[in-house]
Amino acid sequence: MSESLQGLHYHAAEDNTAARSPESFGRSPGGADDAPAMTFTSNEGAARYYLDQLLQRDDRAGMRSLTEPERPERVPSLVVESERDLPALGTHSLRFSQTYRDIPIFGAMALVELTAARDLVSVNGKLGEAPGANPVESLSRAEALEKVADYTGADIPAESGVGARLNFYKKDDDGSWHLAWFFQELPAEPPANDNDADTVDEALLGHGFGRRPVPPSFNYLVDAHDGEILFCYSAAPTALAIPARCTGIDENDDQQAFFGELVAPTSTTCRLNDPRRRVRTYDLQFADINNDPPDPDFPVEAPDSDYGVTNRAAVSAHANASRVLDFYNVVLQRQGIDDNGMDLVSLVNVTAASMQAPPSLLNAFWFRRRMWYGQITKNGRLVSLSRFLDVIGHELTHGVIETTSGLVYATQSGALNESFADIAGVIIKNWYEAPDRADVATWDWEIGPGLRADGRPLRDFADPSRTGHPKHMDDFRPLAPGELPGRSNDQGWVHFNSNIHNKAVHNLLTMSTNGARVFSVEDVAVLTYLGMARLTPRATFPAALQSVVDVGQTYFGGDVHRTEKIAAIRKAYQLVGIT
């Protein structure tokens, strides 16, 4: 199989240093030996210089061809996508996307990590050589959209394709370059393979909830010359307030304390709107999501600050969403789901008659940048899925991934998308609910306990085989040659294969030497969160290992046991066949 894009990787620790200055790369071509020390006026300028230097030294001709020695500021036709501080590491990162002739290259990105002094710490990227495809389209955007409609059998409104852009796309199987129309969030699901009817149910078992009651939303890459459907994947894995301290009984019969708001200074009426965290919770009152119901006029109300048992679903959703947000804010130093303080909106009591007879709906999901909760019957009453903190941590982390690495929701990158969501869900649940959060021996490793019809959990982090999932690369399930991701194969078995990476991280959490844990819970939370954030959209399992190692090189930079800890990370992954 041809590598779709070529990896670019560097970490200063590999040169036995904490960071590299520009002078350590030597003078630029034609520079005098006694020239003054190089300084940068911006982080972007520094990052581009280091990329140029690394590419010039690369052994691969295709990578060297990306450089422009006379104009390193253009190397290699990169556009800054985002910048963010990494407080846990004391560094700063820039994420670039790659273009060619001003056309984006699908999945091609580079992340550069700098010190405060703008010295180089690390680089991680996937880049492509000059695409060998005609850059002038033969098919119009509208004609390409018709190809998707023909392929899916869906009636796609013309306006759905207005935002499509041309991309260069390199196929995994044969390494061929294509100019493609990139359509996002089309209301058209790929057709299921009639020969795979028996696998549809198996694919859904990977998720455990069944199909999500949301309109189809898929991304497509369509050859801009011959109309071939090159690739497709799911786009949906989703006035001044006066704070008031509130209480209420949740779906687990526990009393919770949380913040809402007073409707007015002279009123005792409270609403589930936490103005400090920007968390709001609404009750859809069993409206059908397929009918695109409007948001209620205001968050869930109570006559005073004690919600009692009047809306357990909303109390659970509000309290648990706040916990997830607090974990990201305090432990991982991320400002909300999008790292920019976005409002966190939850809607409880959701139904979808097309999927399940109301009022039940066995699903909870992130969609359209908010959380939606269905409910099931338990002990004679409806119980909201908002009771599961691990499920909420998982789903909200899809939002975090969506606004950081943007892991493509198909095949290995999709499995990593699911795995990093599982990792966050398990850690956050036990952070708040384990008898001793610091002692993983006291942890509950089940994800969605009791949610399968036979009483088993959706997944078991400690023993994936318990739920019929793999725990080693020997059992990795690939797509068949030429098979595209779709519902009948769970987007390339993302929920199935994700368990291999889950087990690697379980190894990290439980690994010990001489009776002592090698890593603290906070260590693993930081390693996996920042490891995910530095991945490129089409990342593979080995890329995830390297990314976590790179974070560890910096995170444990002042630790006398850094070498042993990096070796332990590699061992945790090696035990599941990821090297």
Tens-level pLDDT at each residue, the chain (579 residues): 345 788 999 999 988 888 899 888 875 544 455 555 678 889 999 999 999 889 888 888 777 777 765 554 444 588 898 899 988 889 999 999 999 888 999 999 999 999 999 999 999 999 988 788 899 999 999 999 999 999 999 999 888 888 899 999 999 888 899 999 999 989 898 987 655 545 545 555 555 555 666 678 899 999 999 999 999 998 876 344 578 899 999 999 999 999 999 887 778 999 999 988 889 999 999 999 999 999 899 999 999 999 999 999 999 999 999 999 999 988 998 989 999 889 999 999 999 998 899 999 988 889 888 999 999 988 888 999 999 999 999 999 999 999 999 999 999 999 999 999 999 999 999 999 999 999 999 999 999 888 787 888 889 999 999 999 999 999 999 999 989 999 899 999 999 999 999 999 999 999 999 889 999 999 999 999 999 999 999 999 999 999 999 999 999 988 889 999 999 999 999 999 999
**Is 301 among the residues known to form the active site?**
no
Q: First and final CA of the chain: distance in angstroms?
A: 18
- What is the maximum span of the chain, computed from C-alpha positions, in angstroms? 83
Q: Give catalytic status of residue 185 as yes or no.
A: no
Residue 335's pLDDT is 87
Contact between 90 and 117 under an 8 Å Cβ cutoff? The reply is no
Q: Where are the alpha helices (DSSP H) in 289-445?
A: 312-326, 389-402, 411-433
Which residue is catalytic, options 318, 398, 495, 501?
495
CA atoms within 13 A on the CB side of 65: 10
Token pair 């969030």 in the structure block, residue: 185
3-state secondary structure of 428: helix
The pLDDT assigned to 30 comes to 43
Judge residue 163's burial from the number of C-beta atoms within 10 Å of its C-beta, 0-12 exposed, 13-18 middle, 19 or more buried. Answer: exposed
For residue 8, the cross-strand partners are 125
Of the residues 395, 402, 418, 446, only one is catalytic, namely: 395
**What pLDDT shows up at residue 240?**
46
- CA–CA gap between residue 106 and residue 100 (Å, rounded): 11
CA distance 237 to 249: 30
Cβ proximity of 530 and 551 under 8 Å? yes
**Cα 194 off chain centre by:** 31
Domains defined for the chain, CATH in brackets: 6-127 (no CATH), 141-234 (3.10.450), 243-391 (3.10.170.10)
- Cis check: omega of the bond before 299, within 30 degrees of 0: no
Angle between helix 521-533 and 541-555 (nearest 10) = 120
Q: What is the pLDDT of residue 207?
A: 52
Tokens of 22: 């520009």
Rounded Cα distance, 203 and 479, in Å: 12
Residue 54 three-state SS: helix
The model's pTM? 0.81
Instruction: Please give the structure tokens belonging to residue 119.
Output: 């010295």
